[in-house]
Structure 1
Amino acid sequence: MKFVDEIKKGLNTKYIGKKIYHFAEVNSTNDMAKKLADKCEDGSVVIADVQKRGKGRLGREWISPSGGIYLSIFLKPRIDPSTAPRLTLTFGLAVAKTIRKLGLDAKIKWPNDILINGKKVSGILTEADVNNNINYIIAGIGIDANVDIDTFPIELQYSATSLNRELKKPVNRVELIRELLEEIEKYYDIYFQDYHKIFDEWRSLSDTIGRVVEIKTQKELIIGEAVGVDLEGELLVELSDGTLKKIIAGECIYME
């Protein structure tokens, strides 16, 4: 049975994953989804076995060897562009919940990394095509499933992990992708019905709130205690003088 057919068999979704494009190798699933934008329906999914130039946040490369899960979900939400950052929280929560179903204590590091025992196992990169309205959003998700972390660059081996390392056995990629697509649809639907539920669940799984952090933005370096996030996903950092700083985007480093 073909890989896509295996995923669709038993997939319990209304629209996400009804159309799946599968590639053995691409530069990036997000880039491929953009190329296929004219063909993609709401909920279409692009999956690759390997990414040659996987995309992480802030222009970084996402190491994407065989055995991982690399997919992008194409969506056409009718929302105000100003509320689009809420979707990053939504997708991050769905990925964390999927991994937690494996019995692993997955937590969310602001803004969009999933950690197990303090090590990164997954990342989400959300990109949008916007003019006055949102034409489409692409949610790129990478999960280190059955990958050998020891083959990663040495600087990443201490900060990354994989599902098979944590579980001490391989995971079924087809079943995990199916579960992931179902969770994405579940929380994406909740996003439109009761966003506060997503917000509360995200905070309950936050690994960042309560920590002393260093945030590198394009303009400045900020050090303080992460005391929360607002509804738009901005990190709230209390500085040493008691000032509260809102951070839209940046690299978050734990200081402790």
Structure 2
Amino acid sequence: MESTRQKMIKLLANNRTGYISGQELSRQLSVSRTAIWKHMKELEKDGYIIEAAPKKGYRIIDFPDKVSQNTLRWGLNTTWAGQELFHYNQVASTQEIAHKLAAEGHPHGTLVVADEQVKGKGRMARPWHSQKKDGIWMSLLLRPDLPPVQAPQITLLAATVLAKAIASASQVEPQIKWPNDLLINHKKMAGILTEMQAEQDQIQYVVLGMGININQDPGKFPDEIKKKATSLRQETGETWNITWLIQLILETFENTYEQFVHEGFGTVKKTWEQYGYKIGEQVTISTMRKTWEATLLGIEADGALLVKGIDGREEKLYSAEIHWGEGGYNADA
């Protein structure tokens, strides 16, 4: 259910070119004029510049360049994705908070965003460098009506969402390294972590974590990942508005997810393979049992990577290390 503040932000956003009277806000929100004034003061504390003109009402004339609950809600064009959201300056992990919110019964689409994570993690519990205010560190709570076997499809879907959103915003063409990394110019700029709570035949909830490098300079990455990591700023030479990018990702996610629910995995699979890194190319693959040369063919509906060995035999992989390039670059997949 929308709060009074959320409703007021929507009304102000829909009247950006003109004033909306305190009386009209009071009428539509069913609160007193004094309550309206208090909400305006809270927005000013958040960095909004509000003009209050006698006999005209209120209008927003400038917006804060910061991430907050208010700025994220301002102009967010979704039905459920991010409509309930929690913003923090610093957390151990947005995943941990999202799991707690899920256990408390918060709805599908609940979003947790942090300016900084001090214990961010990726796949296989690897640490994720989450520098303050330089990236997007967020977790989205989903309650899909799906059996657990289809959970990997959500990770693959999320990867296509990030690729599409970054491509449309920047004209940079990212690629997806199976199953959950976004690369630009062969360097990692985003990762996805999907964690699930389920019963035998039904997913109770999914927490979809996304870490996206946005405004880091090359020198801000730790030495151990400098050669492997990049950011949108590093690739474009521009500084990006993180609030706007989060909104773009949420809107793209909601549209893509709804299409997936109604049409199935086919479109997601096709899009993933369009962005797929090294798809159609030969690489070296290592598992605990063997190392061999194979061509990456695409993905399967269960999230597996489909490869074809030099002997022509096709195989589905669920865990492997992929090597390529002169330096023998390793991609733990």
Query: Which residue of 2 is the match for residue 113 of structure 1?
Result: 181
Structure 1 residue 181 and structure 2 residue 247: aligned?
Answer: no
Query: Which residue of 1 is the match for residue 141 of structure 2?
Result: 74
Q: 1:19 to 1:251 in 2, by over 3 A?
A: farther
User: Structure 1 stretch 184-193 or stretch 239-248: which is displaced more?
Assistant: 239-248
User: Percent identity over the alignment?
Assistant: 36
- The one of the two structures with greater contact order (alpha-carbon pairs below 8 A, sep at least 6) is 1
Indicate conservation of the 8 Å contact 1:211/1:254, yes or no: no
The structure whose Rg is larger is 2
Query: Which residue of 2 is the match for residue 169 of structure 1?
Result: 238
Structure 1 residue 58 and structure 2 residue 127: aligned?
Answer: no
Output the TM-score relative to the length of structure 2. Answer: 0.73
Q: 1:79 to 1:227 in 2, by over 3 A?
A: same
Note the C-alpha offset of 1:107. Answer: 1.3
Q: Which whole-Å CA distance do the structure 1 matches of 2:172 and 2:81 have between them?
A: 25
Query: Which residue of 1 is the match for residue 153 of structure 2?
Result: 86
Gaps of 5+ in 1: none
Structure 1 residue 247 and structure 2 residue 317: aligned?
Answer: yes
Q: Which whole-Å CA distance do the structure 2 matches of 1:251 and 1:95 have between them?
A: 23
What is the letter of the counterpart of residue 225 of structure 1? T
Query: Which residue of 1 is the match for residue 92 of structure 2?
Result: 27
User: Structure 1 stretch 31-40 or stretch 165-174: which is displaced more?
Assistant: 31-40
Indicate conservation of the 8 Å contact 1:23/1:47, yes or no: yes
In the TM superposition, what whole-angstrom CA distance separates every residue of 1:132-182 from its partner, at most 9, and x where no partner exists? Answer: 221100110011011233222223111111011112121000100000111
Note the C-alpha offset of 1:116. Answer: 1.1
Note the C-alpha offset of 1:103. Answer: 1.2
Note the C-alpha offset of 1:243. Answer: 2.2
Q: Which whole-Å CA distance do the structure 2 matches of 1:59 and 1:100 have between them?
A: 28
In the TM superposition, what whole-angstrom CA distance separates every residue of 1:94-115 from its partner, at most 9, and x where no partner exists? Answer: 0111100121111111111111
Note the C-alpha offset of 1:228. Answer: 1.8
The structure where helix makes up a greater share of residues is 2
Q: Which whole-Å CA distance do the structure 2 matches of 1:154 and 1:205 have between them?
A: 28
Aligned-pair Cα RMSD in Å: 1.7
Indicate conservation of the 8 Å contact 1:212/1:255, yes or no: no
Indicate conservation of the 8 Å contact 1:224/1:238, yes or no: yes
Gaps of 5+ in 2: 1-42, 47-67, 327-333
Indicate conservation of the 8 Å contact 1:77/1:134, yes or no: yes
In the TM superposition, what whole-angstrom CA distance separates every residue of 1:16-54 from its partner, at most 9, and x where no partner exists? Answer: 101111111112111111122214211000001111111
Note the C-alpha offset of 1:222. Answer: 5.2
The structure where strand makes up a greater share of residues is 1
The number of aligned residues is: 256
Query: Which residue of 2 is the match for residue 204 of structure 1?
Result: 274
In the TM superposition, what whole-angstrom CA distance separates every residue of 1:67-99 from its partner, at most 9, and x where no partner exists? Answer: 110000001001111111111111000011110
Output the TM-score relative to the length of structure 1. Answer: 0.94
